Structure 1
Amino acid sequence: MLSVSGVDVAYGRARALSGVDLEVPAGSLVCVMGRNGVGKTTLLRTIMGALRPTAGRISFDGRDVTRVPTHRRVRAGMAYVPQGHVSFPRLTVRENLQVTLEAARRRDAAAVGEALDVFPALRGLLRRPAGFLSGGQRQQLAIARALLTRPRLLLLDEPTEGVQPSVIDEIEAAVARLHREVGLTVLLVEQYLDFAVRLADGFVVLEAGEVVHAGTADDLRDEEVRRMLAV
């Protein structure tokens, strides 16, 4: 579904990604891993069109989208949940969901119900302003908003960051359901190794903006991989 070939990205003279290759087959869950500052978020932002590569190609469903703007990638079936539990803090949970529907130019009431089925804890919080939610609840809301666009490829940037352990379990169960039961293709950036081991079909490890290792979920148990990810 997604192919990243020889992608370079630079911030001024500083190169953030160098010759990155990545394949995400339809229906798979691929995890991008690595220490802080190695280019993981830069890679997701480049795939979504928020950053333009200086070299290389990005293809989605066999179509070259390297120069396609972000909003057209969303309409083509990509959705991105960035770090930081993004929401509109003064709007209620219900209003956050409604704004997303309107921005996506959808009149799809069923999509809201389906998103709340994935995160049922949000049903009791529909009237609460998002700014008064916990970090874990805001993360669930951020993913629910992305699901309203009915994506075929979901990009998740460290969904467990700053989230309490009990909610990590709920997020893991939701992502597993979306991937295994619904068949959603997922590209996940994650530092929590055990979370990745339980969910991923395949993975790549970035170091200094380059892919230094790639493999299947079974390889994540390898000591060499764990050494690469150690802080």
Structure 2
Amino acid sequence: MLSVTGLESGYGRARVLFGVSLEVEPGQLVCVMGRNGVGKTTLLNTVIGVLPATAGTVTFDGRDITRLKPHERVRLGMAYVPQGHQCFPTLSVLGNLLITVEAAKQPRAAIDAALEVFPALRPLLKRSAGHLSGGQQQQLAMARALVTKPRLLILDEPTEGIQPSIVLEIEAAIQRLHAAGLAVLLVEQYLDIALRLADRFVILDGGQVVRTGAAEELHGEEVRRLLAV
């Protein structure tokens, strides 16, 4: 489904990624891990097209999308939830979902499907998104991604800074989506969550892939060393 080959990217003259390669098969959940500052967010931003690749390729369903703009990648079936619980703060929860459905040219029923994944948003539909808690905003951001009907969901640390009760809800939602066959590329900081969710993992260090493997290999001492702060 998603194939990243020899990807290089960065900010101005500062190169952050050095020949990164990874694969996400249909229905697979791949967790990208590593210490802070190793290039995880840069990788996701380059995969979705927010940052241009300076070398390498990004292929989706066999099509080279390396030079496509983000909205073109979304139309092909990719959805991205970046860090920061991004939403339209002055719009209601329902308004946020409606504007996304209209932009994605999806039926109104897509909102109902997203609310089935995040039922805690139903009683909040009339509330301004800016008045939600951080955890509620994260749920809304993920619901907005889901109404686009993606085949690949890209999540950048969706549990960061979230209250524990909502972390469990978000984890359960990801698990449910994965079980339903949605492919997921996930950056996750918590090893225990990665162990419960991932099929495979990729560890970055210094902008390079230093280890990949099946989720059960995350128990290894070398893996824990690479993830240690």
* Structures share fold, TM-score greater than 0.5: yes
Which whole-Å CA distance do the structure 2 matches of 1:19 and 1:173 have between them? 33
Give the alignment of 1:65-76 within 5 angstroms.
65-76=65-76
Q: Please identify, of 219-228 and 168-177, the stretch whose mean Cα deviation from structure 2 is larger.
A: 219-228
The answer (yes or no) to whether the contact 2:30–2:186 under 8 Å persists in 1 is: yes
Provide the C-alpha distance between the structure 2 equivalents of 1:190 and 1:146, rounded to a whole number of angstroms: 18
Query: Partners in 2 of 1:87 and 1:71 — Cα distance?
Result: 17
Structure 2 unaligned residues grouped into runs of 5+ = none
SS in 1 for 2:145: helix
8 Å CA contact retained: 2:199, 2:214: yes
Q: Which secondary structure does the structure 1 equivalent of 2:51 belong to?
A: coil
Superposition map of 1:156-175 within 5 A: 156-175=155-174
- Aligned position for 1:114: 113
Given candidates 175, 184, 187, the residue that maps to 1:186 is 184
The residue correspondences of 1:34-183 to structure 2 (distance < 5 A) are: 34-106=34-106, 108-180=107-179, 182-183=180-181
Give distance in 1, aligned partners of 2:105 and 2:119: 25
Post-superposition offset of 1:10: 2.7
TM (norm. structure 1) is: 0.98
Contact 2:10 2:42 in 1 (8 A): no
CA distance in 2, matches of 1:223, 1:91: 47
**Cα shift readout 1:60-92 (whole Å, capped 9, x = no counterpart):** 001111111111110000000000111111111
1:52 is displaced (CA, Å) by: 1.0
3-state SS of 2:143 partner: helix
Give the distance between the partners of 1:27 and 1:44, measured in 2 at CA. Answer: 18
Structure 2 equivalent of residue 230 of structure 1:
228
Following the alignment from structure 2 to structure 1, what is the Cα–Cα distance between the partners of residues 126 and 101?
Answer: 17
Measure the CA separation in 2 of the matches of 1:72 and 1:147: 16
Q: Which amino acid aligns with 1:227?
A: R
SS in 1 for 2:47: helix
Equivalence for 1:213 = 211
Shift >3 Å, 4+ stretches: none
Distance (whole Å) between structure 1 residues aligned to residue 12 and residue 114 of structure 2: 40
Question: What TM-score does the superposition give when structure 2 sets the normalisation length?
Answer: 0.98
Distance, in Å, in 2 between the alignment partners of 1:221 and 1:168 is 22
Give the letter aligned to residue 92 of structure 2: T
Percent of aligned pairs sharing the same letter: 67
CA distance in 1, matches of 2:68, 2:90: 32
User: Per the alignment, in what secondary structure is the counterpart of residue 160 of structure 1?
Assistant: coil
Structure 1, residues 128-150: CA drift from partner, whole Å, max 9, x if none? 11111111110000000000000
Q: CA deviation at 1:94?
A: 0.5
